[in-house]
């Protein structure tokens, strides 16, 4: 897996500039900005990039992604001054089997980072029932053990998993947060995007159950 750069002025029309950092098929004429290489970068599976307004310039952009070593899956990180040139963080951000989608942002109002991770069940073993887990920290490089914040309930089909969480602060609002999680009922084999809202980022409600 690699992470590639695309840019847009309107969110509709996108360009893929050549950044000439990594060699692919014998050429550096590509838009790859992060990949596994001889310097020890980890392949960025399920990567999430965010701008951190509280960070020094060299770490203004932050990335989280899933990685694996001999001990199992974990959440890895990298930092960048421009979102193009990345420095990998060698130690796990948190030892947690979160493959997709880990989202972490700086919460300016509460002066900490809010993180949302894949959860797999009580023992966090991959291939259990999927849910969304939550943690907060003052140090982006060190996260506590996440705890569940969004799970399926009695109104969901019993064979339903929650995939990407798509967390975001509610723009222009205080103490208001949004999620657009994908629910996957295995029986129908169809993805459903739902809305979830929260006033603290920990307890979530789903006001509209329609997809």
Contact 120/141 with Cβ under 8 angstroms?
Answer: no
Note the pLDDT of residue 123.
Answer: 65
Note the pLDDT of residue 136.
Answer: 97
User: Could you tell me what percent of the chain has a pLDDT over 70?
Assistant: 92
Note the pLDDT of residue 113.
Answer: 97
- Mean pLDDT computed over every residue of the chain: 89
Note the pLDDT of residue 132.
Answer: 94
Contact 165/178 with Cβ under 8 angstroms?
Answer: no
CA distances from 206 to 22, 195, 196, 211 (A): 43, 6, 4, 11
Task: List pLDDT tens digits, range 128-183.
Answer: 688 999 999 999 999 999 999 999 988 888 889 998 999 999 988 888 999 999 99
């Amino acid at each position: 897996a690699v992470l590639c750069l695309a840019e847009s002025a309107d969110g509709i029309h996108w360009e893929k500039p050549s950044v000439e950092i990594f060699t692919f098929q014998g050429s550096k004429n590509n838009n790859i900005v992060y990949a596994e290489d001889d310097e020890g970068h980890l392949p960025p599976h399920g990567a999430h990039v965010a701008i951190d307004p509280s960070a020094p310039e060299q770490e203004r952009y932050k990335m989280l992604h899933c990685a694996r070593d001999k001990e199992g899956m974990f959440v890895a990180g990298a930092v960048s001054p421009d979102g193009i040139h990345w420095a990998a963080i060698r130690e796990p951000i948190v030892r947690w089997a979160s493959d997709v989608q880990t989202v972490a942002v700086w919460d300016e109002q509460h002066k900490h980072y809010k993180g949302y991770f894949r959860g797999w069940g009580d023992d966090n073993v991959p291939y259990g029932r999927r849910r969304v887990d939550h943690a907060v920290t003052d140090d982006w490089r060190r996260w506590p053990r996440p705890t569940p914040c969004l799970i399926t309930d009695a109104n969901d089909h019993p064979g339903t998993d929650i995939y990407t969480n798509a967390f975001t602060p509610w723009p222009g609002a205080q103490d208001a947060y949004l999620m657009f999680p994908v629910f996957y009922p295995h029986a129908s084999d169809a993805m459903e995007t739902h809305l979830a809202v929260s006033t603290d980022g920990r307890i979530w409600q789903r006001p509209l159950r329609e997809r």
